[in-house]
């Protein structure tokens, strides 16, 4: 069960969302406007936000940018079909996932659970993460690649660990800035780029010939098992 905030102006969709999520055991609050929703999203009790991008008072992506300046609360954006541009902007702005309209309660609930698993995982309580030949041990802060210990700086470790916790998902540079550097976004993407290139070198790969670290143009980066 999670405390979920629904920000959606369409009364019918809002009611359907509240019903579907309540039925699946979540506690749901809602807001028909962006500004009131932003206020609610900053409440520490809020576990996850469902955000409609088409809102009457503020653009959903602008809202997300404002929220990400102060909070890393997981956000799933809801988009109309064919609105790829807003979707890319939303992912860049730090959305954790998206669902296209129309969607079923079951698929939305599955996305919610996946996002909560990824974001709420207590890294200290977990064993090492293995991805291909990479083993990332959070408790000892040790990374091995094909059995060899990698010499990583603290920041490189944090960056790799965050990507490993989220492996298989495209993580935006904005999200890395917030989650790894603990800074609101603003000109720090160069810092992220530099650390990614250092990390690449230590993993024995290049941007032109990636193995574990795959760039997704205009969206971000994801860590994958090169054999997958």
Judged by the rule CB under 5 A, the positions of this chain that interact with Ca ion are 9, 52, 54
Full DSSP string of 90-156: HHHTT--EEEESS--HHHHHHHHHHHHHHHH--GGGS--EEETTEEEETTTTEEEETTEEP---HHH
From the list 57, 179, 13, 68, the residue with the least C-alpha distance to 49 is 68
**Cβ closest to Ca ion, residue 59 vs residue 189:** 59
Q: Please, what is the minimum distance in Å from the beta carbon of residue 198 to Ca ion?
A: 42
C-alpha–C-alpha distance, residues 217 and 228, integer Å: 20
State the residue number with the nearest CB to Ca ion: 54
Take residue 172 and report the two structure tokens written for it.
């935006």
Q: Please, what is the minimum distance in Å from the beta carbon of residue 56 to Ca ion?
A: 8
Q: Please, what is the minimum distance in Å from the beta carbon of residue 65 to Ca ion?
A: 18
**Cβ closest to Ca ion, residue 60 vs residue 220:** 60
C-alpha–C-alpha distance, residues 228 and 226, integer Å: 6
Using DSSP's 3-state secondary structure scheme, residue 202 falls into helix
Q: Please, what is the minimum distance in Å from the beta carbon of residue 93 to Ca ion?
A: 17
C-alpha–C-alpha distance, residues 3 and 80, integer Å: 25
Q: Please, what is the minimum distance in Å from the beta carbon of residue 8 to Ca ion?
A: 6
**Cβ closest to Ca ion, residue 32 vs residue 226:** 32
From the list 222, 27, 18, 171, the residue with the least C-alpha distance to 108 is 18
**Cβ closest to Ca ion, residue 12 vs residue 84:** 12
Query: By the 8 A CB rule, do 63 and 51 touch?
Result: yes
C-alpha–C-alpha distance, residues 208 and 171, integer Å: 19
| The length of the chain, given as a count of residues | 228
**Cβ closest to Ca ion, residue 86 vs residue 172:** 86
Q: Please, what is the minimum distance in Å from the beta carbon of residue 80 to Ca ion?
A: 8
**Cβ closest to Ca ion, residue 9 vs residue 137:** 9
């Amino acid at each position: 069960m999670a405390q979920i905030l629904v920000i959606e102006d369409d009364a019918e969709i809002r009611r359907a969302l509240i019903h579907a999520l309540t039925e699946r055991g979540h506690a749901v609050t809602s807001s028909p406007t962006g500004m009131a929703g932003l206020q609610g999203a900053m409440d520490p009790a809020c576990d996850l936000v469902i955000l409609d991008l088409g809102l009457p008072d503020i653009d959903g992506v602008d809202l997300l940018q404002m929220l990400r300046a102060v909070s890393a609360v997981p956000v799933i954006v809801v988009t109309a079909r064919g609105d790829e541009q807003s979707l890319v902007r939303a992912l860049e702005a730090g959305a954790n996932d998206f669902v296209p309209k129309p969607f079923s309660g079951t698929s939305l609930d599955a996305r919610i659970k996946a996002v909560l698993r990824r974001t709420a995982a207590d890294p200290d309580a977990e064993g090492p993460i293995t991805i291909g030949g990479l083993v990332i041990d959070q408790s000892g802060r040790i990374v091995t690649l094909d059995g060899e210990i990698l010499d990583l700086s603290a920041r490189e470790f944090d960056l790799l660990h965050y990507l490993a916790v989220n492996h298989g998902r495209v993580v935006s540079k904005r999200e890395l800035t917030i989650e790894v550097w603990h800074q609101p976004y603003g000109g720090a993407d160069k810092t992220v780029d530099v650390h990614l290139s250092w990390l690449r070198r230590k993993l024995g790969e290049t941007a032109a010939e990636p193995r574990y670290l795959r760039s997704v143009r205009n969206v971000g980066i994801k860590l994958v098992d090169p054999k997958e």
